[in-house]
A and B are shown apart, each in its own frame.
Chain A
């Protein structure tokens, strides 16, 4: 597999094949992060596309000392784009007279029964994750799911590192409780 640094160098020289390879390699993480934050596959796809377009336009001016820094930048951009999208969604006037299913607002994630019956424990965790507060979910997505370290998460979210540490522990505990509430046999 071609190293990420090599791909980035080639992309800066406008090598279209290298750009395609970079998109293919990073799209699951970018889309995954957007999906966990937005909880809507459609919005997540749009946000992920915007992130790649932004990356493409800024490639020449971006410099990364290593792969980790590039991933952190990409996830930060994804998080910011997702937050902007959430603000847009919240600022839309409510469509009170339209049933949620008709308005396309039905949660795309599986219901607890669906997730439990399918034995899909990951989907169960995903659903429980969606029930957390925005900040707790962001911390878990960046730290526990995407594996960023405490310093990087603190920088992305503009909060102290101590807050990230304590919040991450509490958020995991809360997540475990919510998963148990959805499926008491979880972890048994």
Chain B
């Protein structure tokens, strides 16, 4: 070891401690070229006298090269076939998926309401369509129905009055018949004369 490095190490041990941690923290940025000029010089200066940090920097460079090469891994033979087999099992659901996709579109409700309004306006206003002049026709139907109801109600009231009169006549006849019947019975039994004699006796 260079005697100067030994001296630096001794001084650092007695003052701030090992600078390796500070150098290590900046190694990723050094490797990425994201470190400013001053820091680059400071870290490079440290690396010249520190073997462990130099080894770590080399490993970091190698790891940085290796990682992007690991992006793609062959899943092996049969993978594509397995995926295709699983996706071909759902052709019957294709129309369901298409419908779901249509329904799940963000503006579907708005578009549906707009389309529905257009259809309704068309049915109500366009000549020759079944709902043309719907309001006028509905008004006629309501008026005719009301008139029929009024006539029906008057007929029912008249019928009720006639029935009432017939019931009253029949009731009077029944009452009269019953009175005569009672009177005849009393006469037969002689109670009428007895009562009369009783009345005449002072």
A-to-B contact residues, CB < 8 Å: 14, 16, 19-20, 23-24, 27-29, 31-32, 35-36, 41, 44-45, 48-49, 52-53, 56-61, 121-122, 125-126, 140, 144-147, 168-170, 172-173, 175-177, 179-180, 184, 186-188
Contacts and interface: CB of A to CB of B under 8 A. Distances in A.
Contact of B79 (A16, A27, A168): A27
Given A60-B101, A188-B58, 13 more contacts: A27-B83, A28-B74, A31-B79, A49-B82, A52-B86, A53-B83, A58-B101, A61-B104, A125-B70, A168-B28, A172-B28, A173-B27, A177-B56
B81 to A, nearest CB: 9
Interface string B53-76: 001101111111011111111111
Contacts of A29: 71-72
B86 A53 contact: yes
Interface string B73-91: 1111001101110111010
Given A180-B56, A187-B55, A27 B75 contact: yes
A22 B83 CA distance: 11
Contacts, number: 129
Contact of A61 (B76, B80, B83, B101): B101
Contacts of B67: 125, 140, 144-145
Given A36-B70, A173-B60, A179-B63, A188 B55 contact: yes
A20 B100 CA distance: 23
Contacts of B76: 41, 45
A136 B175 CA distance: 111
Contacts of B171: none
A187 B62 contact: yes
A53 B59 contact: no
B72 A57 contact: no
A49 B82 CA distance: 8
A32 B71 contact: yes
10 contacts: A16-B88, A28-B75, A32-B70, A56-B87, A61-B100, A145-B67, A147-B71, A169-B25, A172-B64, A180-B59
A165 to B, nearest CB: 10
Contact of B87 (A53, A60, A121, A187): A53
A147 B83 contact: no
B44 to A, nearest CB: 17
B97 interface: yes
B94 interface: yes
A121 B1 CA distance: 31
B75 A31 contact: yes
Given A28-B75, A60-B98, A169 B83 contact: no
A31 B77 CA distance: 13
Contacts of A31: 73-75, 79
Contacts of A168: 28
A16 B91 CA distance: 11
